[in-house]
Structure 1
Amino acid sequence: MHYWVRASSSDFGGTVPQPRSGHSAVNIGKSKVVVFGGLVDKRFLSDVVVYDIDNKLWFQPECTGNGSNGQVGPGPRAFHIAVAIDCHMFIFGGRFGSRRLGDFWVLDTDIWQWSELTSFGDLPSPRDFAAASAIGNRKIVMYGGWDGKKWLSDVYVLDTISLEWMQLPVTGSVPPPRCGHTATMVEKRLLIYGGRGGGGPIMGDLWALKGLIEEENETPGWTQLKLPGQAPSSRCGHTITSGGHYLLLFGGHGTGGWLSRYDIYYNDTIILDRLSAQWKRLPIGNEPPPARAYHSMTCLGSLYLLFGGFDGKSTFGDIWWLVPEEDPIAKRYTESPPKVLPENKDVAMENYNSQFAVKESQRESSTIVELQKKLDISVSLSRPGLQIMDELEDEEFLELASRLMGAGVFSNGQVSRIQATQVLRDHWKKSTPRSIPIKELGPLLRDYQRLIARHL
């Protein structure tokens, strides 16, 4: 069991970073986390803020080192890549305003000195929303992004000693171009997950790239992985953080489903178990942080540190710990759990929380009770003026039922609609709460209201 605990002022000294999203946060060894750049209220940032893990202290180092523009360090930006190799943090690309960047920098965190680098070879085009990971302690691999005109699917490898870029020639099938995805090196393979692709769809596919380790002498090639378990929903702007024998996915955003024009922001925590090669939901003992995307998540031993992000309306500056139940920080929650309401609610969660308690005497053996038990919620219709939509008028409900039956449209009129309605209700009765996608919550809870209204 793990617990989310919002960091308190007693957790560390110094001045915490200002709110932001689209920033980077990298681990430098086991001693510090370096936060750089980001965006808040349409203002791009270029500051460096450091968390000293041993001393539990936030501070801003006085950096030196000029670039071609004569200013210290890189210019303001967000949605760049940042990768740590030993004591060095490498920065490439990103966005400033509407302009994509293609400059290349390194920060020596021993002496806090920036250097603008002149690289060689196959230079990548300016881009933002790319993703990158370290290969051992010398090379960096970068995949995809957005150059302002098109989504990218190219793979570049940088040698941080010779400063030479090489575009990796990949044969066979390749992932669709994308941005806003994650890229994580796991042993000899690069794993990419999710992102937004050509034409705008948000994806939930997982791919592995081989051929990155010279000693293995493998021909570079992609393989799509379809792993068992409770896979995450399609999303972009999420984080995947390596910790022990699993990868931890948190947050991000996706679309609201059929006939919906809004984005849904997530606060679920899912792990990819490297030993069993399957997706799992991380057991969480309390309410997670507000949903968000374009945040940062770093691993500090057995702890995870979440900072910042954006939920479509607000930029966050809060800091959260994700800790195992035996950690002293977790005891803060288990001994005196706070009464916290979520700060930001998307439409699906508002639908969920608008349901009320039903009279105990009317909890009969019916579809209502089955759903009630499975979702662990209760409802009442005492709210005045509550409007109940008939299922044959609920377009999103009917579209979901149609897709479940494998029919694109209803060809036999009302009879087919009634049959599809029953099939969808049977599907929900057999589902566990965690297996129901968030995009189904709206139709499910509207149908729950209908059933309650008819049985009162």
Structure 2
Amino acid sequence: MMQQLQPTRMHWARAVPSDFGGQAPAPRSGHTAVAIGGSKVVVFGGFADKRFLADIAVYDVENRLWYTPECSGSGPDGQPGPSPRAFHVAVVIDCNMFIFGGRSGGKRLGDFWMLDTDIWQWSEMTGFGDLPSPREFAAASAIGNRKIVMHGGWDGKKWLSDVYVMDTMSLEWTELAVTGSAPPPRCGHSATMIEKRLLIFGGRGGTGPIMGDLWALKGITEEDNETPGWTQLKLPGQSPSARCGHSVTSGGPYLLLFGGHGTGGWLSRYDVYYNECVILDRVSVQWKRLPTSNEPPPPRAYHSMTCIGPRFLLFGGFDGKNTFGDLWWLVPEDDPIAKRDLVPNVGSDSNHSTVTGDAQQSALKESESQSDESPMLDLAKRLGIPLSVEPSASFVDEINDKELVELSSRLIGESLPTTDQLACIQALRDHWRSSPSSSIQLQELGPLLRDYQRLIIRRFVENPSPTFLEREDRRLFHLKNASQLRMDDIPILLGEYRTLLST
């Protein structure tokens, strides 16, 4: 039996000026960043300050230098290359970066470009065959060293589910005729070739929901001698939550998924942005959480993550309010960058509401001195949960939780006197213990979340043991209110709540 390799423990470090020479790219989201031959990273386009961008920034890996190459070629408006755009696709074949589509203003684009990074020359390619329609938020990947596969996207009116293969030698596009069941149409997803299969994950779907499904497409190339067909994969491990605008980067035996955004919950109009790392282990074929030794960067979507040897370089993105221009390294713990023990300073760029590192600890200590809710803060510290500088949660006793008491009284009706409030609350807990997640009403979510957090605090105060802290059923403890719950959080909340009730 093949021994399963455990993920290498990794370390996040914010890039410092001494990491690079030259001028790093300006803040943006919806750009692309591709690694070419292990020697350079090419950043193109994006969106910032209500403007679509068309600039090129190159990171020279060996010389640790950012520079702007002088590109030649004939493009629109006298520019040497493509018009400004964001949310396009970029794929590398040899030393060439191929660009397709995207958006500029309200227009979806369908033009196709190649940048020869040896001589820095742009060429607009005249494609042949089944040309794809203009689109943004599509997903694409290289097939070997000659072809490109592209899936889905948004054309301004509908979500797409088509699959195109493009031969970079003949410039011929072919729409793949796929039989059988297929993934729902989507955009903002990821597409990655693994061996002879194309894996797609997540995205926003045809009626607007954000998805968390994983599909594999076979028969992409003629050499496979397989009829093209999709298979939905259900892999073991803790799969990522539904999201779009994330990145999936291939690095050694893993695919590394980072960031993206998901639905903000039943009571919220806003999306939730992520910053955890999830890996798909290509050897054991299962999802795993990537162990990191410190706090990750602020949550974001529509960023770029590029693999440079054993390191990953994160750049840019958007969190619903801020466009980022920060650069972060994700490196093995024994990497020299990790050893310099950089303390992230999130507040300088992002106005983000959470604090990390030393700032988090000092904020927690300050809050402890000003609040009687120290069990919550103590538990949060020991669980490693980032908290707002001003925690707003108030863990009152059940009998003083007015919403909980009223809900329990309405549930019981006449079977118990409403004056027997503790009995009513116990009956409500029994109701939650036995109810499926689909039957939970909106007005129940707030009292349920508070009671879940109340039970965690109570168990911790009664028994602050290492065993309690090592458990993984505290994933929603940090939420400030029910509006932050996503739909797929409800089964998790109920499951963890029932575990707490039984202990």
Sort the TM-score into its range (normalised by shorter chain): 0.7 to 0.9
After TM superposition, list the pairs within 5 Å mapping 1:12-161 onto structure 2: 12-67=20-75, 70-161=78-169
What is the alpha-carbon distance in structure 1 between the residues aligned to residue 157 and residue 477 of structure 2?
30
Q: State the shift of 1:71 in Å.
A: 2.9
Q: Which residue of 2 aligns with 1:277?
A: 285
> Partner of 2:174: helix, strand, or coil?
strand
The change in CA–CA distance for 1:442 and 1:164 in structure 2 (over 3 A counts) is: same
What is the alpha-carbon distance in structure 2 between the residues aligned to residue 363 and residue 97 of structure 1?
50
Q: State the shift of 1:277 in Å.
A: 1.1
Q: Which residue of 1 aligns with 2:308?
A: 300
Q: State the shift of 1:390 in Å.
A: 3.9
Q: State the shift of 1:407 in Å.
A: 5.7
- Deviates further, 430-439 or 60-69: 430-439
Q: Which residue of 1 aligns with 2:238?
A: 230
* Percent identity of equivalent pairs: 63
Q: Which residue of 2 aligns with 1:193?
A: 201
After TM superposition, list the pairs within 5 Å mapping 1:187-226 onto structure 2: 187-226=195-234
Structure 1 position 174 matched with structure 2 position 182: yes
Deviations 1:206-257 (A, max 9, x none): 1111111322201111111111112111111110000000000111111222
Task: Assess if the C-alpha contact under 8 Å between 1:230 and 1:435 holds in 2.
Answer: no
The change in CA–CA distance for 1:384 and 1:107 in structure 2 (over 3 A counts) is: closer
Q: State the shift of 1:94 in Å.
A: 0.1
Q: Which residue of 1 aligns with 2:499?
A: none
Task: Assess if the C-alpha contact under 8 Å between 2:15 and 2:328 holds in 1.
Answer: yes
Q: Which residue of 1 aligns with 2:416?
A: none
Task: Assess if the C-alpha contact under 8 Å between 1:23 and 1:38 holds in 2.
Answer: yes
What is the alpha-carbon distance in structure 2 between the residues aligned to residue 241 and residue 420 of structure 1?
35
The change in CA–CA distance for 1:72 and 1:279 in structure 2 (over 3 A counts) is: same
Q: Which residue of 2 aligns with 1:256?
A: 264
The change in CA–CA distance for 1:300 and 1:433 in structure 2 (over 3 A counts) is: farther
What is the alpha-carbon distance in structure 1 between the residues aligned to residue 373 and residue 393 of structure 2?
22
Q: Which residue of 2 aligns with 1:406?
A: 436
Q: State the shift of 1:392 in Å.
A: 2.3
The change in CA–CA distance for 1:438 and 1:56 in structure 2 (over 3 A counts) is: farther
Structure 1 position 441 matched with structure 2 position 471: no
> Partner of 1:102: helix, strand, or coil?
strand
What is the aligned length? Answer: 433
> Partner of 2:267: helix, strand, or coil?
coil
The change in CA–CA distance for 1:393 and 1:110 in structure 2 (over 3 A counts) is: farther
What is the alpha-carbon distance in structure 2 between the residues aligned to residue 404 and residue 32 of structure 1?
56
Structure 1 position 247 matched with structure 2 position 255: yes
1:9 to 17, 28, 41: 17
The change in CA–CA distance for 1:323 and 1:377 in structure 2 (over 3 A counts) is: closer
The change in CA–CA distance for 1:101 and 1:338 in structure 2 (over 3 A counts) is: closer
Deviations 1:104-153 (A, max 9, x none): 00001111100011101111110000010000000000001000001111
Q: State the shift of 1:324 in Å.
A: 0.5
The change in CA–CA distance for 1:157 and 1:320 in structure 2 (over 3 A counts) is: same
- Which protein is richer in helix relative to its size? 2
RMSD: 4.1
Q: State the shift of 1:386 in Å.
A: 6.1
Task: Assess if the C-alpha contact under 8 Å between 1:402 and 1:420 holds in 2.
Answer: no
Task: Assess if the C-alpha contact under 8 Å between 1:266 and 1:291 holds in 2.
Answer: yes
The change in CA–CA distance for 1:346 and 1:139 in structure 2 (over 3 A counts) is: farther
Letter in 2 for 1:148: G
> Partner of 1:262: helix, strand, or coil?
coil
What is the alpha-carbon distance in structure 2 between the residues aligned to residue 339 and residue 7 of structure 1?
11
The change in CA–CA distance for 1:282 and 1:68 in structure 2 (over 3 A counts) is: same
Q: Which residue of 2 aligns with 1:453?
A: none
Task: Assess if the C-alpha contact under 8 Å between 1:374 and 1:432 holds in 2.
Answer: no
What is the alpha-carbon distance in structure 1 between the residues aligned to residue 65 and residue 223 of structure 2?
41
Structure 2 unaligned runs (5+)?
Answer: 1-8, 357-362, 408-427, 460-467, 486-492, 494-503
TM-score (norm 1): 0.83
Q: Which residue of 2 aligns with 1:450?
A: none
> Partner of 2:223: helix, strand, or coil?
helix
> Partner of 2:245: helix, strand, or coil?
coil
Q: State the shift of 1:375 in Å.
A: 3.7
The change in CA–CA distance for 1:339 and 1:86 in structure 2 (over 3 A counts) is: closer
The change in CA–CA distance for 1:173 and 1:145 in structure 2 (over 3 A counts) is: same
The change in CA–CA distance for 1:87 and 1:403 in structure 2 (over 3 A counts) is: farther
Task: Assess if the C-alpha contact under 8 Å between 2:204 and 2:243 holds in 1.
Answer: yes
What is the alpha-carbon distance in structure 2 between the residues aligned to residue 287 and residue 394 of structure 1?
40
What is the alpha-carbon distance in structure 2 between the residues aligned to residue 137 and residue 47 of structure 1?
26
The change in CA–CA distance for 1:437 and 1:173 in structure 2 (over 3 A counts) is: farther
The change in CA–CA distance for 1:330 and 1:118 in structure 2 (over 3 A counts) is: same
